[in-house]
A = this chain, B = another copy of it.
Amino acid sequence: MGSETIFQMLKLADIATLFNSLCGLLALILVQNGFTYLAPTLILAAAIADGIDGYLSRLYSGSEIGANLDSLADVISFGVAPVAIMYSFAGDEANYLLLAALCFYFLCGILRLARFNTSHQELPSFKGLPITAGGIVLSAYMLTGENYFNIGFATILTFVIGLLMISKITYMKARKPEILIPVGLLFGATILSYAVNISYTYFMATLLMGAMLLYMISPAIKRTV
Protein backbone atom coordinates (compact mmCIF):
# COMPACT_ATOMS: atom_id res chain seq x y z
CA MET A 1 0.00 0.00 0.00
CA GLY A 2 3.09 2.20 0.06
CA SER A 3 2.72 4.19 -3.15
CA GLU A 4 -1.09 4.19 -3.43
CA THR A 5 -3.06 7.28 -2.54
CA ILE A 6 -5.78 6.76 0.04
CA PHE A 7 -8.48 6.91 -2.64
CA GLN A 8 -6.85 4.16 -4.69
CA MET A 9 -7.18 1.86 -1.68
CA LEU A 10 -10.98 2.19 -1.69
CA LYS A 11 -13.33 -0.43 -3.11
CA LEU A 12 -17.03 -0.22 -3.92
CA ALA A 13 -18.02 -1.48 -0.45
CA ASP A 14 -15.98 1.34 1.11
CA ILE A 15 -18.03 3.94 -0.75
CA ALA A 16 -21.13 2.50 0.95
CA THR A 17 -19.29 2.67 4.28
CA LEU A 18 -18.36 6.33 3.74
CA PHE A 19 -22.00 7.04 2.81
CA ASN A 20 -23.05 5.31 6.06
CA SER A 21 -20.71 7.54 8.11
CA LEU A 22 -21.81 10.67 6.27
CA CYS A 23 -25.47 9.89 7.06
CA GLY A 24 -24.54 9.68 10.73
CA LEU A 25 -22.65 12.98 10.64
CA LEU A 26 -25.42 14.80 8.78
CA ALA A 27 -28.02 13.38 11.19
CA LEU A 28 -26.07 15.03 14.01
CA ILE A 29 -25.93 18.36 12.21
CA LEU A 30 -29.60 18.16 11.21
CA VAL A 31 -30.81 17.54 14.73
CA GLN A 32 -28.87 20.61 15.89
CA ASN A 33 -30.88 22.56 13.34
CA GLY A 34 -34.27 21.27 14.42
CA PHE A 35 -34.85 18.45 11.92
CA THR A 36 -36.10 16.18 14.69
CA TYR A 37 -37.49 13.41 12.46
CA LEU A 38 -35.15 13.66 9.48
CA ALA A 39 -32.17 12.88 11.74
CA PRO A 40 -33.36 9.40 12.87
CA THR A 41 -34.55 8.73 9.31
CA LEU A 42 -30.95 9.26 8.15
CA ILE A 43 -29.81 6.66 10.70
CA LEU A 44 -32.07 4.16 8.95
CA ALA A 45 -30.47 5.18 5.63
CA ALA A 46 -27.06 4.60 7.26
CA ALA A 47 -28.24 1.11 8.25
CA ILE A 48 -29.18 0.33 4.64
CA ALA A 49 -25.73 1.56 3.50
CA ASP A 50 -24.17 -0.66 6.17
CA GLY A 51 -26.12 -3.64 4.84
CA ILE A 52 -25.05 -2.91 1.25
CA ASP A 53 -21.45 -2.51 2.39
CA GLY A 54 -21.55 -5.91 4.11
CA TYR A 55 -23.14 -7.54 1.07
CA LEU A 56 -20.58 -6.04 -1.34
CA SER A 57 -17.59 -6.98 0.80
CA ARG A 58 -18.82 -10.58 1.02
CA LEU A 59 -19.53 -10.69 -2.73
CA TYR A 60 -16.16 -9.22 -3.73
CA SER A 61 -13.32 -9.33 -1.24
CA GLY A 62 -13.14 -6.25 0.97
CA SER A 63 -10.34 -3.70 0.77
CA GLU A 64 -7.39 -3.61 3.14
CA ILE A 65 -8.92 -0.79 5.15
CA GLY A 66 -12.55 -1.96 4.74
CA ALA A 67 -13.13 -3.61 8.12
CA ASN A 68 -11.59 -0.68 10.00
CA LEU A 69 -13.56 1.86 8.04
CA ASP A 70 -16.75 -0.08 8.72
CA SER A 71 -16.43 0.02 12.49
CA LEU A 72 -15.47 3.73 12.43
CA ALA A 73 -18.66 4.44 10.45
CA ASP A 74 -20.77 2.25 12.76
CA VAL A 75 -19.65 3.98 15.94
CA ILE A 76 -20.73 7.29 14.43
CA SER A 77 -24.06 6.29 12.85
CA PHE A 78 -25.26 3.82 15.49
CA GLY A 79 -23.26 4.89 18.55
CA VAL A 80 -22.84 8.66 18.76
CA ALA A 81 -25.62 9.89 16.49
CA PRO A 82 -28.63 8.06 18.04
CA VAL A 83 -27.44 9.15 21.50
CA ALA A 84 -27.18 12.84 20.61
CA ILE A 85 -30.43 12.71 18.62
CA MET A 86 -32.30 11.00 21.48
CA TYR A 87 -31.11 13.59 24.01
CA SER A 88 -32.22 16.38 21.71
CA PHE A 89 -35.50 14.57 20.92
CA ALA A 90 -36.36 14.37 24.62
CA GLY A 91 -36.20 18.18 24.72
CA ASP A 92 -37.38 19.65 28.02
CA GLU A 93 -38.11 16.17 29.35
CA ALA A 94 -34.41 15.19 29.12
CA ASN A 95 -32.95 14.43 32.53
CA TYR A 96 -29.74 13.09 34.05
CA LEU A 97 -31.10 9.54 34.17
CA LEU A 98 -31.63 9.56 30.41
CA LEU A 99 -28.19 11.10 29.92
CA ALA A 100 -26.63 8.39 32.10
CA ALA A 101 -28.44 5.65 30.14
CA LEU A 102 -27.30 7.22 26.85
CA CYS A 103 -23.67 7.42 28.03
CA PHE A 104 -23.91 3.78 29.16
CA TYR A 105 -25.33 2.76 25.76
CA PHE A 106 -22.52 4.66 24.03
CA LEU A 107 -19.73 3.08 26.12
CA CYS A 108 -21.21 -0.40 25.65
CA GLY A 109 -21.45 0.22 21.92
CA ILE A 110 -17.84 1.31 21.54
CA LEU A 111 -16.65 -1.65 23.66
CA ARG A 112 -18.83 -4.03 21.61
CA LEU A 113 -17.27 -2.74 18.38
CA ALA A 114 -13.72 -3.00 19.70
CA ARG A 115 -14.36 -6.55 20.93
CA PHE A 116 -15.90 -7.54 17.59
CA ASN A 117 -12.91 -6.15 15.68
CA THR A 118 -10.46 -8.29 17.65
CA SER A 119 -12.51 -11.51 17.58
CA HIS A 120 -13.30 -14.10 14.95
CA GLN A 121 -15.60 -12.14 12.68
CA GLU A 122 -16.31 -15.11 10.42
CA LEU A 123 -18.42 -16.87 13.07
CA PRO A 124 -22.01 -17.57 11.93
CA SER A 125 -23.45 -15.57 14.85
CA PHE A 126 -22.76 -12.37 16.83
CA LYS A 127 -21.71 -12.21 20.47
CA GLY A 128 -23.94 -9.52 21.95
CA LEU A 129 -26.54 -7.38 20.16
CA PRO A 130 -24.85 -5.59 17.22
CA ILE A 131 -24.57 -1.81 17.62
CA THR A 132 -26.32 -1.41 14.25
CA ALA A 133 -29.42 -3.06 15.72
CA GLY A 134 -29.16 -0.86 18.82
CA GLY A 135 -29.00 2.34 16.76
CA ILE A 136 -31.93 1.21 14.61
CA VAL A 137 -34.13 0.47 17.64
CA LEU A 138 -33.49 3.91 19.15
CA SER A 139 -34.10 5.64 15.81
CA ALA A 140 -37.27 3.64 15.09
CA TYR A 141 -38.56 4.44 18.56
CA MET A 142 -38.17 8.17 17.97
CA LEU A 143 -39.82 7.84 14.55
CA THR A 144 -42.93 6.31 16.11
CA GLY A 145 -43.68 9.91 17.02
CA GLU A 146 -43.58 12.12 20.09
CA ASN A 147 -47.04 10.93 21.13
CA TYR A 148 -45.52 7.57 21.93
CA PHE A 149 -42.31 8.98 23.39
CA ASN A 150 -42.03 8.32 27.09
CA ILE A 151 -38.89 9.43 28.87
CA GLY A 152 -38.98 6.50 31.32
CA PHE A 153 -39.39 3.92 28.58
CA ALA A 154 -36.67 5.60 26.48
CA THR A 155 -34.27 5.46 29.44
CA ILE A 156 -34.95 1.79 30.17
CA LEU A 157 -34.82 0.81 26.48
CA THR A 158 -31.47 2.59 26.05
CA PHE A 159 -30.02 0.95 29.15
CA VAL A 160 -31.24 -2.55 28.17
CA ILE A 161 -29.79 -2.21 24.65
CA GLY A 162 -26.46 -1.23 26.23
CA LEU A 163 -26.50 -4.35 28.39
CA LEU A 164 -27.45 -6.61 25.46
CA MET A 165 -24.57 -5.19 23.39
CA ILE A 166 -21.88 -6.10 25.92
CA SER A 167 -23.56 -9.40 26.85
CA LYS A 168 -22.42 -12.77 25.52
CA ILE A 169 -25.88 -13.58 24.22
CA THR A 170 -25.73 -15.13 20.76
CA TYR A 171 -27.54 -13.23 18.02
CA MET A 172 -28.01 -14.70 14.57
CA LYS A 173 -26.72 -12.88 11.51
CA ALA A 174 -29.81 -12.10 9.46
CA ARG A 175 -28.55 -12.85 5.95
CA LYS A 176 -31.24 -15.13 4.52
CA PRO A 177 -33.17 -13.53 1.63
CA GLU A 178 -36.54 -14.44 3.22
CA ILE A 179 -35.61 -12.21 6.17
CA LEU A 180 -33.48 -9.58 4.43
CA ILE A 181 -35.95 -8.70 1.67
CA PRO A 182 -39.03 -7.89 3.81
CA VAL A 183 -36.90 -6.12 6.43
CA GLY A 184 -35.10 -4.14 3.70
CA LEU A 185 -38.46 -3.15 2.20
CA LEU A 186 -39.68 -2.03 5.62
CA PHE A 187 -36.57 0.16 6.02
CA GLY A 188 -37.02 1.62 2.55
CA ALA A 189 -40.73 2.29 3.10
CA THR A 190 -40.06 4.01 6.44
CA ILE A 191 -37.44 6.27 4.88
CA LEU A 192 -39.49 7.11 1.79
CA SER A 193 -42.64 7.76 3.83
CA TYR A 194 -40.84 10.70 5.44
CA ALA A 195 -40.93 12.47 2.06
CA VAL A 196 -44.66 11.75 1.69
CA ASN A 197 -46.34 12.20 5.04
CA ILE A 198 -44.83 12.02 8.51
CA SER A 199 -47.86 10.17 9.87
CA TYR A 200 -47.03 7.29 7.50
CA THR A 201 -43.52 7.34 8.97
CA TYR A 202 -44.96 6.97 12.49
CA PHE A 203 -46.85 3.89 11.31
CA MET A 204 -43.98 2.28 9.36
CA ALA A 205 -41.56 2.99 12.21
CA THR A 206 -43.91 1.24 14.64
CA LEU A 207 -43.76 -1.88 12.45
CA LEU A 208 -39.98 -1.56 12.20
CA MET A 209 -39.70 -1.12 15.95
CA GLY A 210 -41.77 -4.30 16.41
CA ALA A 211 -39.50 -6.25 14.07
CA MET A 212 -36.40 -4.98 15.85
CA LEU A 213 -37.74 -5.74 19.32
CA LEU A 214 -38.46 -9.27 18.06
CA TYR A 215 -34.79 -9.51 16.99
CA MET A 216 -33.71 -8.19 20.39
CA ILE A 217 -35.57 -10.96 22.22
CA SER A 218 -34.91 -13.60 19.53
CA PRO A 219 -32.22 -15.45 21.56
CA ALA A 220 -34.78 -15.99 24.35
CA ILE A 221 -37.40 -17.23 21.85
CA LYS A 222 -34.88 -19.61 20.30
CA ARG A 223 -34.16 -21.15 23.68
CA THR A 224 -37.78 -21.71 24.63
CA VAL A 225 -39.01 -22.97 21.25
Contacts and interface: CB of A to CB of B under 8 A. Distances in A.
B83 A25 contact: yes
B71 A29 contact: no
Interface in A39-72: 64-65, 68-69, 71-72
Instruction: With a 10 A CB-CB cut-off, give which of A10, A72, A117 has the most chain B CB atoms.
Output: A72
Contacts of A65: 111, 114-115, 117-118
A196 interface: no
B29 A28 contact: no
A58 to B, nearest CB: 19
Interface residues of A, number: 46
B6 A112 contact: yes
Contacts of A107: 18, 21-22
A161 interface: no
